[in-house]
Amino acid sequence: MSGVRRWRWLALIALAAALVAEALWRSGALSPIEQRLQDAWFQWQDRRAEARHVVIVGIDEETLAAFPDDPMVFWTDRLAVAVGRLQEAGARVVGLDMLLSISPERWLGKLGGELQRAARDYDRPFREAVHGGHLVLAATRSGDGTRETDYLLPSPDYLLALPDFDIPRFIGLGDLLDEGDGVIRRYFVAPVAGMGATPPGTGVPVLGLPALAAVRAAGLDPSAAEWSLGGRKVSLRDTAVPVPYLGPPGTFPRISLKDLLAPGALSEALRERVRGKVVLIGATASGLNDEHFTPYATRFLGGRGPLMSGVEVHANVAEALLSGAHLTALGGGLRLATLVLFAGLAVAAFAALPAWQGGLAWLAGAGVLAFCGYLAFGAGVLMPVTAYGLAAGLALLGVLGWRLTGEERERARVRQMFGRYVSDQVVEALLESGNRPELGGQSQAMTVLFSDIRNFTTMSERLNAKEVVEMLNTYFERACAPMLAEGGSIDKFIGDAIMVEFGSPLPVADHAIRGVRAALALRAVAGEFANWMQQRFPGRDLPEFAVGIGLHSGEAVIGNIGSPARMEFTAIGDTVNLASRLEGMTKQLGCVILASEETIASAGAAVVCGRSEVVTVKGRAAPVRVFEVLEVKPGGKS
């Protein structure tokens, strides 16, 4: 497979992996894992910041214990006192995170008489607090909010007390956004409009309770379509955004309602705590059933952490709006671009690694991704970690599939073709180069070495067949080692002869000096093997073991030669024929290694030569100058 075609396939795999990951991200299929990761990051960061704009007045266990016998419908007198003291202490806005759907007057009105008249006076301070315009009340809804009947509002007694009966200005929706698993992770500025619905006229709440409190605290008009809060633009039509929780339950400064109602509560310390702040009054006692799952309550592998009161969830939202704190997810275009880049890097890495290393790299990379996502989270950026991890996983699968269907088969074919007669290093270099010899034949510069055993016929006559095979196998095993060490390709064994090419199938510039060094090493092997022959076959009157070696450098054609039924990769041409003829002339000239003038010139001055002759070889009209090779100078290189 050519390099260009290979990279085209890899680019296609990377693009496909990125697009699939993006599609699954947009479909929400990755949301459960991504949400749990973000939950874990909240937990690891623990307390992320300090509240600067919001304080909670909690109806806690101590407050409930102080008034054990009074139904909460009759707590409006205490709430009126609390609101008055908070206003006197300098609170900018007071929000009541409780739905007062019935008033004492209406509750006792069913009984009539003196009780009904007494209830009017009993509840007057609270209605006056509502009419004062500094109190924001809570409502809720069912359905999509497009009908008036979808809204559950405070008691009509309190609605009538609103300044100008302006419901959107003084009543906010206390609904919390459930992610489907019961965990509160995001919020709407305007719950109905943010979901793309249209509220039914002007007589219903529009903003969420914390958003209304923040807009009022900033001195802005709640009836506007957008506002600048905390240095950011906030709009009615904003979709749900993540709640940047400041910390686990208990992070926000909290005042017990019991302490606020106590004589002398308006100390300078209290004034300092609430001056210029948004104060939310709500239930914090666990027995009042206003506790919710937040990121701090989930556990990645199961279990449950502490729940958070509804008023503290709202406090986090109001604080985020007033401070400008936010968690920003990558936009669609930027996310897709980074997915394509990440998938491309993953494909390039996996293509360069074995399959098992690629798998380990993906597992290690998933941990690195999670850590990078955690760091980005600390900077207020939500990385699509699961999408990146999925893209990398798909890239790995794609590369493996590509290898199995194409590249691996090609690599296996090359290994099968060359692995028997070239070194592993040459095979790997050939694979990594991306270049493959043309099976139809191609011309290439190389050095060809021929070697055979002297007096082999005589040896064969004095040894039986089994011994001849043993001798050849032992010799060839020893003779091949220096050939492979020099990057030679062992083309074939022809009886007792060996044919080796240097510079095939992978071209190398120093093929001549490699061939010379291999020939000298083979001469040494032959000398050692002579001792083995004497020890293995003593007293057999065998001629002394010796070899002749011929070398020639030039252009030769390499490729698959043969018939459709049987083919082999080999070299042919005049260069091969001349190397064979020179090997045959070594005995005639009385030398072990005979090299052509072309080989000596290409090998360089490091080669030490002996005698030189101009000879005529069979099949060539022109004479050939040949040299006896004696040695290569120490440190001699190509």
Phi and psi dihedrals of 531, rounded to 5?
-65, -40
Element (H, E) at 165: none
Q: What percent of the chain has pLDDT over 90?
A: 59
Element (H, E) at 435: none
Distance, in Å, from the CA atom of 76 to the CA atom of 16, rounded to the nearest integer, reads: 62
Q: How many residues does the chain have?
A: 638
Distance, in Å, from the CA atom of 285 to the CA atom of 35, rounded to the nearest integer, reads: 28
Cα–Cα nearest to 546, from 586, 512, 600: 586
**With contact defined as beta carbons under 8 Å apart, do 204 and 168 qualify?**
yes
Q: Is 427 a residue whose pLDDT tops 70?
A: no
Cα dihedral 401, 407, 409, 411 in deg (nearest 10):
-140
Domains in the chain and their CATH numbers?
3-23+328-416 (no CATH), 51-323 (no CATH), 436-632 (3.30.70.1230)
Phi and psi dihedrals of 295, rounded to 5?
-55, -25
Per the structure block, which two tokens stand in for 44? 């690891």
Q: What does 451-486 look like in DSSP terms, one character per residue?
A: EEETTHHHHHHHS-HHHHHHHHHHHHHHHHHHHHHT
Distance, in Å, from the CA atom of 367 to the CA atom of 132, rounded to the nearest integer, reads: 56
- Burial environment of residue 303 by CB neighbours within 10 A (0 to 12, 13 to 18, 19 or more): exposed
Per the structure block, which two tokens stand in for 443? 């011309």
Question: For the chain, what is the mean pLDDT?
Answer: 87
Per the structure block, which two tokens stand in for 190? 């305007």
Q: What pLDDT sits at residue 401?
A: 85
In one letter, which amino acid is 307?
L
The distance from CA 50 to its chain's CA centroid, rounded to whole angstroms, is: 33
Q: What is the Cβ-side half-sphere exposure of residue 56, based on CA atoms within 13 angstroms?
A: 29
Q: What pLDDT sits at residue 213?
A: 95
| SS3 letters across 565-583 | CEEEEEEECHHHHHHHHHH
Q: What pLDDT sits at residue 487?
A: 87
**With contact defined as beta carbons under 8 Å apart, do 275 and 89 qualify?**
yes
Q: What pLDDT sits at residue 411?
A: 61
Widest distance between CA atoms in the chain: 142
| SS3 letters across 221-236 | CCCCCEEEECCEEEEC
Cα–Cα nearest to 496, from 474, 481, 514, 518: 474
Distance, in Å, from the CA atom of 148 to the CA atom of 203, rounded to the nearest integer, reads: 8
Distance, in Å, from the CA atom of 459 to the CA atom of 518, rounded to the nearest integer, reads: 25
Q: Is 564 a residue whose pLDDT tops 70?
A: no
Cα–Cα nearest to 519, from 626, 597, 444, 592: 592
**With contact defined as beta carbons under 8 Å apart, do 310 and 292 qualify?**
yes
Distance, in Å, from the CA atom of 582 to the CA atom of 585, rounded to the nearest integer, reads: 5
Q: What pLDDT sits at residue 465?
A: 92
Cα–Cα nearest to 59, from 282, 344, 336: 282
The 10 Å Cβ neighbour count of residue 563 is 6
The 10 Å Cβ neighbour count of residue 622 is 6
Distance, in Å, from the CA atom of 292 to the CA atom of 574, rounded to the nearest integer, reads: 88
Q: What pLDDT sits at residue 418?
A: 54
Q: What pairing do the DSSP bridges indicate for beta strands 593-596 and 566-572?
A: unpaired
- What lies within 8 Å, CB to CB, of 132 at 6+ separation is 87
Distance, in Å, from the CA atom of 399 to the CA atom of 421, rounded to the nearest integer, reads: 29
Q: What pLDDT sits at residue 1?
A: 47
**Where do the DSSP E strands lie in 495-546?**
497-502
Q: What pLDDT sits at residue 567?
A: 62
Q: Is 429 a residue whose pLDDT tops 60?
A: no
What average pLDDT does the segment 263-272 reach?
Answer: 89
**With contact defined as beta carbons under 8 Å apart, do 174 and 207 qualify?**
no
* pLDDT tens digits along 108-122: 766 666 666 666 678
Cα–Cα nearest to 21, from 390, 404, 430: 390
- What lies within 8 Å, CB to CB, of 527 at 6+ separation is none
Element (H, E) at 294: none
Q: What pLDDT sits at residue 199?
A: 86
Distance, in Å, from the CA atom of 49 to the CA atom of 60, rounded to the nearest integer, reads: 24
Q: What pairing do the DSSP bridges indicate for beta strands 254-256 and 54-59?
A: parallel
* pLDDT tens digits along 144-181: 888 988 899 999 989 999 998 999 999 999 999 887 88
Q: Which residues pair with 593 in a beta bridge?
A: 549
Q: What percent of the chain has pLDDT over 70?
A: 90
Q: What pLDDT sits at residue 612?
A: 93
**With contact defined as beta carbons under 8 Å apart, do 617 and 578 qualify?**
yes
Q: What pLDDT sits at residue 638?
A: 38
Q: Global pTM?
A: 0.67
* pLDDT tens digits along 75-86: 888 999 999 999
